[in-house]
Structure 1
């Protein structure tokens, strides 16, 4: 009987531990963003982040390898949500539109529910990226990783290998559209970011896609 109770209780315990880890991770990210915006990235220390997040510096280092990775931690959350949304969309052959729809779906979710993070936190991250060369450089590295993950999801949808030429063309085109649409996103509202992406995609369709 005791064995059955332990077996039934294990998932709940694991779920509780996972939620606690996620809360701690979020607290660290939010503390870092608040401090960086207030006093600048270079003047912000891991010890200060740990103090504000109410954890030890060792805990911070266990979650994140570098200070840049703390500030950019939200990218992992965005990526996971984007992949989930992308996989749920119909496979109608227009993968660039699917990428647009996954982006808009993510923005809508953030604005309406605050999940996985609030839109204000996203804007904070964008401001720190623009103001800090080392964070900007790391953001580009993570952007490449993000595109590889999205590209693998597109390949899965298309039924081809991730290194297939068609996937590379889709991702290169999407990167250009997203870059134009998100250029000033840190100063826009969620609705304005949504509209900016729609306009960039529509401009691409109007100028580059023949009917």
Structure 2
């Protein structure tokens, strides 16, 4: 066994990142080949040439390795959200941040995101009911902090939670059937742009008469 005691912290961290990337690639490849339910932690570890114990050091569950696809995407969206006009409402700010990131990815790589990676995220997540449910419940800490700051509330405030629930539900409803290319649809960032814009246009129409709450209902303005 190689002596790692003299390795620099930078080298050890680099090796950890490589191992993590290999595990993600192995998991995605197996999932695409044989399906999510049939893919086990042991198979992923074997494909990555590591032990199941090593896998557990990087990912607590099988779901966690696949949800890194969403996490990478959410991280870039969170950075974009910080640049969106502060006067916009939270749902519109979230929509604009997602659209801006997806549009950029369609023309060039953004961080770890590429058109192929977005297509892969759609194909893998949407092909599994378990992963779609996990995606619906997914919470990205940085995004929640940025959103709460925009709204002038605490992260756990119910208004901030409501925005997260509405947005997560809308994006899953809009894109949850995107599993494979068709004659009219090619998986990738631009189909997500079109689906999200259409879904939020429909949401705006459906909620157009909700501007005024019923008499006696609580109505507390939230700073933009």
Give the TM-score band, short-chain normalised. Answer: 0.7 to 0.9
Compute the TM-score of the two structures, normalised by the length of structure 1. Answer: 0.74
Out of 159, 174, 179, the position equivalent to 1:186 is 179
For the Cα contact (< 8 Å) 1:151–1:162, is it kept in 2? yes
Equivalences for residues 100-111 of structure 1 within 5 A: 100-111=95-106
Out of 19, 22, 29, the position equivalent to 1:24 is 19
Partner of 2:64: 69
For the Cα contact (< 8 Å) 1:32–1:49, is it kept in 2? yes
Cα drift, residue 71 of structure 1: 2.0
For the Cα contact (< 8 Å) 2:118–2:188, is it kept in 1? no
Partner of 1:116: 112
Mapped to 2, the partners of 1:135 and 1:178 lie a distance apart of: 14
Equivalences for residues 2-17 of structure 1 within 5 A: 17=12
RMSD: 3.0
Partner of 2:83: 88
Mapped to 2, the partners of 1:18 and 1:184 lie a distance apart of: 38
Mapped to 2, the partners of 1:165 and 1:60 lie a distance apart of: 36
Larger fraction in helix: 1
- How many residue pairs get aligned? The number is 196
Mapped to 2, the partners of 1:168 and 1:133 lie a distance apart of: 23
Mapped to 1, the partners of 2:36 and 2:135 lie a distance apart of: 14
User: Against the structure 1 CA distance between its residues 17 and 107, is the aligned structure 2 distance closer, same or farther, given a 3 Å change threshold?
Assistant: farther
| Residues 123-160 of structure 1: per-residue CA shift (max 9 Å, x gap) | 3343343443443444444x2x23x7534321111222
Compute the TM-score of the two structures, normalised by the length of structure 2. Answer: 0.71
Mapped to 1, the partners of 2:54 and 2:24 lie a distance apart of: 12
For the Cα contact (< 8 Å) 2:136–2:172, is it kept in 1? no
Cα drift, residue 91 of structure 1: 0.6
Matched, 1:135 2:131: yes
- Unaligned 5+ runs, structure 1: 1-12
Cα drift, residue 28 of structure 1: 1.0
Matched, 1:161 2:160: no
Mapped to 2, the partners of 1:176 and 1:152 lie a distance apart of: 19
